[in-house]
Amino acid sequence: MSVRGSNGKLLAADDKSDLIARMRALAGIPRAPARDDAVPQRVAPAFDTLDEYKLLTQHREIGHSQGVADPFFRLQRGRAGSIAIIEGREVMNFASYDYLGLNHAPSVAVAAKSAIDMYGTSVSASRLVAGERPILRDLERGLAEVYAAEDAAVFVSGHATNVGVISTLMRPEDLVLYDELCHASILVGAKLSGAARRAFRHNDLATLERLLEDAAGAHERILIVVEGLYSMDGDVPDLARLVEIKRRYGAWLMVDEAHALGVLGATGRGLAEDAGVDPRAVDIWMGTLSKTLAGSGGYIAGSASLVELLKLGVSGFVYSVGLSPPVAGATLEALAVMMREPERTARLKRNGQLFLEAARAAGLDTGLGCGHAICPIMVGDSLRAAKLSERLLAAGLNVLPIIYPAVPMQSARLRFFITSEHTEAQIRSAVEMTRRELDRLVADGVGLSGVAQRLASGWRP
């Protein structure tokens, strides 16, 4: 706004500001603070001052005080199979879920390279706008056939598949019931949906029924979520009874097959084939491309209407780039190999049973393990589990500890992934080494009880 003085001339900027200040003073209006003082400056906290970071640091220091190196993020060279190259040397590997050895299959590598030659390394856009390719639809048709489903959809992340699908289908007025040992991504999806959430004890279907009875008539949509093969314990649910329950109470049933595809069933088609249940009785089949299929990503198989709804409604599909062509090509060929070579699944079954029987004969606690591709060796003490993993690596065996919060307190374990490519000698050797090193740790008194005693005496990490 222009301001003129008594002589009719325009005031300079400084004179105008001075006039406005004198007018505010005459009117009793407090002087405005200087610009730098108008809003007190707030300094964002440094990340290393956060309580979460301090807790991580404390746990690391406790481990170091007991001579335990960080067991995670171990650098590997080359392709990890039954043998891995860690710190420049070959070790037996039971820490990779390449269940059927397809990450080493020559035809899978050729398919990935051919896809690059045809489509490049990326589809470069969301599939809705410019990222659709025939190879993606071929993969979806192949996955749908596994479950006798009408259609399927592939996503770029298995974790994001669960999160996106559950949060899209369920609403605040709905109910999600899930096994307490379900994967974290299922819990995140349920939480984001805003729906009521109830966990039932692991494989306790009587409790599931009671929860459904209590919820009768209170929710329009009810979703039951279980895993086909539980990733931490290696056991399976009663699918036939789950189907009967979900029908009686008008609920949807979602089965996470991340670790079941290629592992369960005579031809690796998963829990339905293993249980002798028509796969069409399950509303939502979910799985990943990163285990048996030697790729990366997730998928949903089910009715055509479900898949159409998800492809147009799940944020992680609509607003994410489509699956990269080499991954699609590799997983499509891996799926084909799995179907035409059922002997891989048969070999995996024999190896899983051998590991379980040998571990039990050695007096090791195999928890809920049933002799499939995943077998826990229960240790209980997180510190002891980490130290056991470290000593086994030094002895030539790579297997990772699973500790809180991935599993409940006092449920720490080593999680062995068994594949079709492990030899009998490797399996028996792994069991013998685990028994020997665990006995030594117990004899040495390594564990959290020792740390607790030191803390009680005034020691601090």
Catalytic residues: 231, 259, 291
The DSSP-derived string for 395-458 is HTEE-EEE-TTTS-TT-EEEEEEP-TT--HHHHHHHHHHHHHHHHHHHHHT-SHHHHHHHHHTT
> What's 102's DSSP letter?
G
- Residue 226, SS3 per DSSP: strand
Cβ neighbours for 396, distance < 8 A, ≥ 6 positions apart = 89, 91, 92, 433
Tokens matching residue 148: 């006798």
Helices 134-146, 106-119: crossing angle, 10 deg rounding: 140
Cβ neighbours for 120, distance < 8 A, ≥ 6 positions apart = 325
Burial class (CB in 10 A: 0-12, 13-18, 19+), 427: buried
Cβ neighbours for 20, distance < 8 A, ≥ 6 positions apart = none
Question: Residue 89 CB: number of other CB atoms within 10 A?
Answer: 9
